[in-house]
Amino acid sequence: MDKKDATVISSSIGVGADKYEAVIGLEIHAQLQTASKLFCGDSAAFGGAPNTHISAITMGHPGTLPKTNKKAVEYAIKMGIACNCEIVKDNYFARKNYFYPDLPKGYQTSQHTTPICKGGTVHISTSLGEKEVELNRIHLEEDAGKSIHDLHDDYTCVDLNRAGVPLIEIVTEPCLYSSEEAYQYVTEIRKLVQWIGVCDGNMEEGSLRCDANVSIRLKGEKRLGTKVEVKNLNSIRNVKKAIDLEIARMIEIVEKGGSIVQQTRSYDADNDTTFSMRDKEEANDYRYFACPDLSPFHLTKEFIESIGAALPKLPKQLMASYQQDFGLNAYDASQLCDEKDTADFFNAVAKETTNYKAIVNWITGPVKQYLNDNNLSIGQLNLPAKTLASLIQLINDGKVNFSVAATKIFPLLLQTDKQPLQVAEELNVLQVSDTNELEGWVDEAISKMPDKVTEYKKGKKGLIGLFVGEVKKLSKGKADPKVVTELLQKKLG
Ligand code: ADP
Ligand code: MG
């Protein structure tokens, strides 16, 4: 794979482009967040000094016996249930034989033709509407190690820490028709694996990797065109870019009278091109056979059901319940469901106050702003749900206004364990809503503007704002505007 072979593709699609339709199928590998590897107790953690997470089993030494990690099986089932798959009860692992320097055993242990999860759907929203993306399967397999080509000029280094880390491969049917659909699908899968806690979804570290299969055909044609598989897509944006490049490249070839060669290509993000890694080998013979070292495993109905019962509410279900049970609009509900930690925080606050809309406003307003400014995630927010609920209550009771709460009280709550009321008292920002106390400022404001009083009495009721503003100024912002308005209306007649 030499980058000099890169075919530079013009991104402008020719005149004939709208005759064609793109067909895309995605294969996503997600590393499971188990403590240990798929078939032994070696650490499955990312990184570590090279070749330190490796025992004789990872190294594939003769005479070693692997054993299946139950947690990994559980995680695969979790994802299968979340994607509406059929969970297969009788399972085994096969050996996919091939030689590769970072594959110490000489074969990859995978499920090949017998995936643990069959079929399934994933819901996405695009600019064209809602869609159920059809899955072909989700299967379990082990990851390979890493070959590092750029450390030395003359040789390649191999780090086997990753060898044997459990993966699920989530494979769609060829049922996506644009890069936008692909983008939304990968976004949804990433959110889902994080949501149910089976994968951290980190594409930069390679915990989530996507290969895109792309073909084109004339609109109306039912048969699939020859596909190209694009690898090395390490961000969701790159998935979209690479697919767009491939579609344009293929249309250009076909428009010029050429035909598509089945290939594996690689995306080069630096130059924003794809280049050929290899033409599809004539029917690779991996000599699959059931791994004799691993016992087949049977899943009971009860085991599968217990995993389903322990799943958290999924984003789509939660969004619906926010709208039905809490009266939130669809936009607010979807914002809360962007990340599980956000939804969890909302749920915790919603246990303390029923002012749901106010909670949304806080989470999408001051809280989000603070997290963004400090590059923090909501899990790192030092604000107990109860404290935010009391702050919301304080505003509701007219004791402080939102702006004071957001700019003065909120920052202090993040630094101390104090309650909002105490902080408001110490800052001397509690609103005055006692009529007797307010009357002094109200009378003073009225006596300062006799002309305006006359105008008001003649019917210019809009002037009320001017008086309220004056009272606010006189009270240094502490007068409760609602009570002040009522008082002014009474006094001005
Ligand atoms: P392979 O054996 O080359 O891995 P598969 O049939 O297992 O091929 O499919 C791999 C992925 O490619 C799947 O996501 C599938 O939907 C997709 N795919 C298969 N054929 C096409 C095609 N002609 N165009 C686009 N995607 C395709
Ligand atoms: Mg493939």
- 6 confidence band (pLDDT: 50, 70, 90): very low
Q: Which long-range contacts (CB under 8 A, 24 or more apart) does 323-331 make?
A: 326/350, 326/356, 327/356, 327/357, 328/356, 328/357, 328/360
User: Which residue from 207, 159, 232 is spatially nearest to 3, judged by alpha carbons?
Assistant: 232
Please give the radius of gyration of the chain, using alpha carbons only, rounded to the nearest integer: 31
**Residue 466 DSSP one-character state:** H
| Cα distance between residue 275 and residue 249, in whole Å | 11
Residue 115 Cβ inside 6 Å of ligand 1? The answer reads: no
Say yes or no to pLDDT of 7 above 60. no
**Residue 403 DSSP one-character state:** H
Q: Which atom of ligand 1 is nearest to the CA of 175?
A: 16
Q: What is the mean pLDDT of residues 367-376?
A: 96
Nearest CA to ligand 1 atom 3: 229
Residue 227 Cβ inside 6 Å of ligand 1? The answer reads: yes
Q: What is the pLDDT of residue 100?
A: 87
Q: What is the pLDDT of residue 476?
A: 84
User: For residue range 460-484, what is the model confidence (pLDDT) as tens digits?
Assistant: 999 999 999 999 899 888 888 889 9
Residue 213 Cβ inside 6 Å of ligand 1? The answer reads: yes
Q: What is the mean pLDDT of residues 30-49?
A: 96
Q: What is the mean pLDDT of residues 92-112?
A: 93
**Residue 164 DSSP one-character state:** T
User: For residue range 285-299, what is the model confidence (pLDDT) as tens digits?
Assistant: 899 999 999 999 999
Q: What is the pLDDT of residue 71?
A: 98
- 90 confidence band (pLDDT: 50, 70, 90): very high
Stated as kind and residue range, the H or E segment containing 484 is helix 481-492
**φ/ψ (deg, to 5) at 58:** -60, -35
Say yes or no to pLDDT of 10 above 50. no
Nearest CA to ligand 1 atom 7: 171
Q: Which 3 state secondary structure label does DSSP give 241? A: helix
Say yes or no to pLDDT of 269 above 50. yes
Say yes or no to pLDDT of 361 above 80. yes
Distance from Cα 329 to the centre of ligand 2, integer Å: 41
DSSP 17-77: GGGEEEEEEEEEEEE---SB-SSSSSB--S--STT-S--TTTTT-TT------HHHHHHHH
The three-state (H, E, C) secondary structure of 293-360, written as one string: CCCCEECCHHHHHHHHHCCCCCHHHHHHHHHHHHCCCHHHHHHHCCCHHHHHHHHHHHCCCCCHHHHH
Percent share of the chain, pLDDT over 70: 96
Distance from Cα 213 to the centre of ligand 1, integer Å: 6
Q: What is the pLDDT of residue 145?
A: 96
User: Which residue from 319, 313, 328 is spatially nearest to 361, judged by alpha carbons?
Assistant: 328
Q: What is the mean pLDDT of residues 372-390?
A: 96
Residue 24 Cβ inside 6 Å of ligand 1? The answer reads: yes
Residue 25 Cβ inside 6 Å of ligand 1? The answer reads: yes
Distance from Cα 335 to the centre of ligand 1, integer Å: 34
Q: Are 93 and 68 in contact (CB under 8 A)?
A: yes
Distance of CA 206 to the CA centre of its chain: 15
- 16 confidence band (pLDDT: 50, 70, 90): low
List the domain boundaries for the chain.
Answer: 17-298, 312-427, 435-492
- 342 confidence band (pLDDT: 50, 70, 90): very high
Say yes or no to pLDDT of 313 above 60. yes
Tokens of 392: 């919301």
Q: Which atom of ligand 1 is nearest to the CA of 27?
A: 14
Q: What is the pLDDT of residue 282?
A: 58
Of residues 211 and 101, more confidently modeled: 211
Q: How many residues does the chain have?
A: 493
Q: What is the pLDDT of residue 2?
A: 41
Say yes or no to pLDDT of 283 above 70. no
Say yes or no to pLDDT of 55 above 60. yes
Round the average pLDDT of the chain to a whole number and report it. 93
Distance from Cα 231 to the centre of ligand 1, integer Å: 13
Ligand nearest to the CA of 141: 2
CATH number for 435-492: choose from 1.10.10.410, 3.40.50.620, 3.40.50.720, 1.10.3720.10. 1.10.10.410
Q: What is the pLDDT of residue 3?
A: 39
Rounded to 5°, angle at Cα 329 from 354 and 177? 140
Residue 171 Cβ inside 6 Å of ligand 1? The answer reads: yes
User: For residue range 420-464, what is the model confidence (pLDDT) as tens digits?
Assistant: 999 999 998 898 888 888 999 999 999 999 999 999 999 999 999
Q: What is the pLDDT of residue 13?
A: 46
Q: Which atom of ligand 1 is nearest to the CA of 214?
A: 25
Residue 366 Cβ inside 6 Å of ligand 1? The answer reads: no
